[in-house]
Amino acid sequence: MTLSYASVHGRTPVLVGIGQQMEWGRSPAESLSPMGIAAAAGAAALRDTGAAERVSETLDALVSIRIFPDSWNRPRSPNPFGRAENPPYAIASRLGLNPELGVYGNVGGNTPQKYINEMASRIADGELKLAMVVGGEALKTAQLARRENLSLNWQESDSRPFEDRGIGESLATAHEFAHGLGVPIQTYPLFESALRAQAGHNLETHLDAMAKMMKPFNAVAAGNPFASYAAPRSVSELATVTDENRFICLPYPKWLNAMDGVNQGAAVILTSVDHARALGINPKKWVFLHGCSEANEQILVSERVNYTSSPALGLNARQALNMAGKTLDEIDYFDIYSCFPAAVAIACDELGLDRQDQRGLTVTGGLPFFGGPGNNYSMHAIASMVERLRKEPGAYGLVTANGGYLTKHASGVYSCEPYNEPWQLPDFQSLQSDVDGLKYPRFTERPAGQAIIEAYTVAFSKGEPSRAIIIGRLTANDERFLANSIADPELLRRFVDNDQVGRLGMVRAAQETDGETNIFVPQ
C-alpha cells in the first residue's frame, strides 16, 4: 500500500521510533536497574528510527514514566537499593542525550498515553522538535534481591534541573485504606462483584466467563517475546482454583490478577513530519496519532456513580475516535487496559465492544500474562501497536490506558495513514465537565442502621478467607458507606460460596465497635 504525505502539515506529530526491553532469568547482581532497563528500551527506540545519531543530536525532551517505588508517598519514599534522584537525565546520560526538557511523570497507568498526548501537542505547536517518552521497572530484581538479602546500588544523581510532576491526586483516603480500598488486588474485585451480580452468575459460572474473556490475552502473550508470564494456559486452568492458582481476592484467582513482578521497559520517540523528513527517517516508520483524549472519574472509589460502569473511560475513548474520524467498527486492533478482568469488561461495555470480539482485545497479552510494569504498561501497548500497524499501513489501532482504580483514563488512535487535518488536542475540559456533572451518591464515614450490600470482596491469606470488604447503602437514606465483616470463618465462607450483593444487614460505625472500621452484620 502506497501512502501519500503531500497534504500533511509539517508540524503534524508522528511516532518514528519504538523500543522494548525485557529481562528474565538473570541474577539480581547482574540485572539492570530501573533506569538501565528504561535506557535499554530507549536505545532500541533510537535504533528503530534508522537515524539514531541524528535523532540523538536533536532530541530536546525526555519524559520518564514514574517508577513504582516512587508512586506511593510524598516526598519520594526511601528505596533500600538507592534511586536515581533525577530519572529523566539518568536515562538521558546512559543514551548520550542532553535534552533541554526533562520530565518525571506523575502516578498512573494512563500516563504513557497522557504524556504522548502532551508531547504531540507541544510538537504541533512548534515548542519542541523531538521527544522520547520512556519508562522501565526492575520490580522482579528488587523482589529477588530482598528475598536473597542482597545489597544493590541504584543510587545516582544529576545536577541538571528537571520537572517532577509529583504523585498527583491522592487515590484513596485514610478511611478507605482502613477498610481495604486503595490496594489494587482488593479494589478491582469490588467492581467485579457488581458485574457478577449484574450478570446473575454464581461463582463457578463467573470464573468461567472471566477465564474465557482473558484466555485470548494469554494466547497473545504466549507469542510475545517481551512477555514475562507467557506460559499458555487453558480456560480451565484460568478458572479453576488450585493451590497454585489460589484466590487472591474473591473472585480473582492468581492468574486473573496483574503480575507486577517484572523487569520491563518501553520507549516511544515522537517528532514532526518536517523534522522526520529533515532527519531522513523513512516514512515507512511513521505512525500518526489520529485521535487522543483524557478524562478522570471521581477520584475516590467510594464516590463513584456505580461499580459496573466508567463514564470517563467511555467518553474519552469516543472523543479519541471522533478526533480520528473513525467508528469502533473501523478499528482493526485494540489494546484494552487489562489489569483485572473488571477493567476489560467495563471498558468493552463502555465502548460497545463485545468481550469476545474476534479482532482481539490486546496486542501485548495484557497485564496478567504480558506483565504489569508499574505505570508503564501502556507504553508497551503503544510500542506493540506501532509495530503491528507498520505491517498493515492502512489499519487503525485503539489503545486505552487506565490509572488508579478505573480512575484516570487516556486513549489513543494510531495509524500509518497520514493525518491530513491541522493537529490539535481536543477539548478535554468539556469532557471532564460532563463527567463531573453526573449525579453521585452521598457518602458517610459513620453509617448506622439497616443497609444493603452494593459491592464486596473477600481477601484471602494463605488460601483461606480472612476479611470481607463491603461497599453498602443505608436503606433509610441511600447513603453509601464502607465496612468490613467480623473475622468469623463460617461467615466468610458463606460470603465466598454465595453472592452477597443485595444482602440486607445492619451496619455499625467504627466508634461504636471500638475498632478502626465500620462493621456490617448480615441478616
Asked whether residue 411 falls in the same domain as residue 453, the answer is no
Compute how many other C-beta atoms are within 10 angstroms of the C-beta atom of residue 124: 19
Per-residue pLDDT, 514: 60
Same domain? 481 vs 371: no
The answer to whether 401 touches 409, Cβ cutoff 8 Å, is yes
Together in a domain, 333 and 407 = yes
The separation between the first and the last C-alpha atoms of the chain, rounded to the nearest angstrom, is 66
Choose the final residue of a domain: 401, 436, 471.
436
Same domain membership, residue 154 and residue 288:
yes
SS (H, E, C) 401-418: EEECCCCEEEEEEEECCC
My answer on whether 404 and 274 are in the same domain is yes
- Answer positive or negative: Cα dihedral of 60, 66, 67, 73: positive
Give me the pLDDT at residue 512, please: 62
What one-character-per-residue DSSP string does 255-268 give? GGS-----EEEEEE
| CB neighbourhood size of 420 (10 A) | 15
Phi then psi for residue 263, to 5 deg, are -120, 95
Provide the pLDDT for residue 4.
84
Model pLDDT, residue 153:
95
* 487 within 8 A of 458, measured Cβ to Cβ: no
Do 414 and 474 sit in the same domain of this protein?
A: no
**C-alpha to C-alpha distance for 274 and 465, rounded to whole angstroms:** 60
Specify if 159 maps to a domain. yes
Residues β-bridged to residue 289: 414
Helix (H) or strand (E) holding 40: helix 34-48
Please report whether residue 410 resides in a domain: yes
Q: How far apart are CA 481 and CA 443, in angstroms?
A: 6
Q: How many CB atoms lie within 10 A of CB 380?
A: 32
- Predicted pLDDT of residue 28: 95
Considering only CA atoms, give the Rg of the chain. Answer: 23
> Would you say residue 295 lies in a domain?
yes
Provide the grid cell at 412: 489513543
Closest of 154, 75, 110 to residue 379, by C-alpha:
110
143: left (phi over 0), alpha (psi -120 to 50) or beta: alpha
What's the rounded Cα separation, in Å, for the pair 94 and 238? 41
The answer to whether residue 206 sits within a structural domain is no
Please tell me whether residues 268 and 400 are part of one structural domain. yes
Instruction: For residue 500, tell me if it sits in a domain.
Output: yes
> Is residue 208 in some structural domain?
no
Q: Are residues 498 and 403 in the same domain?
A: no
- pLDDT, residue 50, reads 98
Last residue within a domain, chosen from 404, 436, 468: 436
Give pLDDT, residue 405.
98
Is there a single domain that holds both residue 513 and residue 369?
Answer: no
Question: What does pTM read for this prediction?
Answer: 0.97
Q: Other C-beta atoms within 10 Å of 343: how many?
A: 26
- Is 240 among the domain residues? no
User: Residue 77 and residue 37: Cα distance in Å, rounded?
Assistant: 21
Whether residues 414 and 463 share a domain: the answer is no
Residue-number span of the structural domain to which 502 is assigned: 449-522
Residues of the chain with pLDDT under 50: none
Name the burial class of residue 440, with classes exposed (0-12), middle (13-18) and buried (19+) by CB atoms within 10 angstroms of its CB.
middle
Q: What is the largest CA-CA distance in the chain?
A: 73
| Count of domains observed in the chain | 2
| DSSP3 helix / strand / coil % (the chain, rounded to 5) | 35, 20, 40
Query: What pairing do the DSSP bridges indicate for beta strands 263-272 and 287-296?
Result: unpaired
The phi and psi torsions of 268 (rounded to 5 degrees) equal -135, 140
Complete edge-to-edge strand list for the sheet that includes strand 130-138 = 163-164, 101-104, 61-64, 130-138, 263-272, 13-23, 287-296, 408-415, 396-403, 333-335
**Confidence at residue 471, expressed as pLDDT on a 0 to 100 scale:** 98
Q: Any idea what DSSP says for residue 39?
A: H
d(CA 147, CA 167): 28
CA-CA-CA-CA torsion sign (143, 145, 151, 153): negative
- Domain end: 407, 436, 465, which one? 436
The answer to whether residues 407 and 477 belong to one domain is no
**Domain harbouring 465, CATH code:** 2.40.50
Q: Is residue 69 part of a domain?
A: yes
Q: Does residue 465 share a domain with residue 318?
A: no
The CATH number given to whatever domain includes residue 321 is: 3.40.47.10
Q: How far apart are CA 269 and CA 116, in angstroms?
A: 9
